[in-house]
Structure 1
């Protein structure tokens, strides 16, 4: 009986490994593609949280599955990393109705066919141009998305979003020279998440003070928890346009109820 059950488990495993679709090797989806990276030590059966990360301008998913500040975080925390490839290495996020939103949704559906997914632990992330795209995605297909993890990029704060994720977490550098920090009226530094504070019906924010993952970079966090729906947090730092050291790792630790760790 035990041998029979073991054979059944093997047959039930996703066909992805047999197809060679993993890490550097793309998963084809029509005329588009994406990358996946399983976490360290995964047994091939246990359901997984998912982080779908949109790459920056002129990048591809091949970078994401090797990037220690992204894949290094997911691999160590039991999270399946999904990295869609933008056409011409960019994304269409400027207006509602982007075909890249539909593509992102199709990627998640394809992932569900290949892997056992924990449905209430699907996170969407992005950096720079990819952060803008992640905003657009959850603005239109945010139902069922547990959290948006956005790095150095937003949409205009007067956008009207049809949907919202369960939670929004944003990080931005005050000295960003690529996508300028979006100060609000009077130099308001909470402006980068105004859209989501309004959409979620949030009251006053609470300053949580400084924190760091590495000694050379201190972040200041403001959190809005008195919301009609969900939760919003904003981390700001004095640096520029980069994927913040350990930021994705810390967000996943908090969202998954894990002890904070680095990397």
Structure 2
């Protein structure tokens, strides 16, 4: 029997690549989008879902179960970027980011766990970020929201293991997707103390995304995890130095690591 997969944020970028890869491997794939009617060329069905709206989440999950009778794999992929000096990011944008990157995935997990419990099986894959392992300058909110999801996964994994449900994280580095287009950028304010440093950091971040890895690497990683009966707690996918930066954070003194980051961002 083909496994049934639900991917939030499946209309573009990493989510779309994962969905297409799994579809070609024979999985029954459902993706989600806030506006699926605007997506003209998807090879797997897209369901309306806004991770900031609990009713929307529960309706989408119910639709998948009604159509396929089960739900084997859920991939919490929907997310949004945010940049800016913490002092200058409006609080409503900070709250929106956590609603999308943190509270939304929690609501999705709460919505699918009853079905997985009834099946006595299921796999939830939370897509976080290498940025979630460290506080990055001018990406403080993004780092915090993704880091929080990493920790929630660690805890929930232990809570549901006894009922046959597996949960894991995948932390991608920079991938060549359209994430920068949907990211909230706090404006570079003239005469701000952050004007020069933030402006330069913003340019560097966009260049890293443009020159990022092929999102098919993430699709292959997800497929490998699904095939593994006992997945690890954490996976990292991306360029060597991005993954190695997590190792360095573990072994270097805090101030040495901070200095390394500041040199990297030319601060």
Normalised to the residue count of structure 2, the TM-score between the two structures is 0.42
Whose helix proportion is higher, 1 or 2? Answer: 2
Whose strand proportion is higher, 1 or 2? Answer: 1
Normalised to the residue count of structure 1, the TM-score between the two structures is 0.43
Greater relative contact order, per chain length (Cα 8 Å cut-off, separation 6+): 2
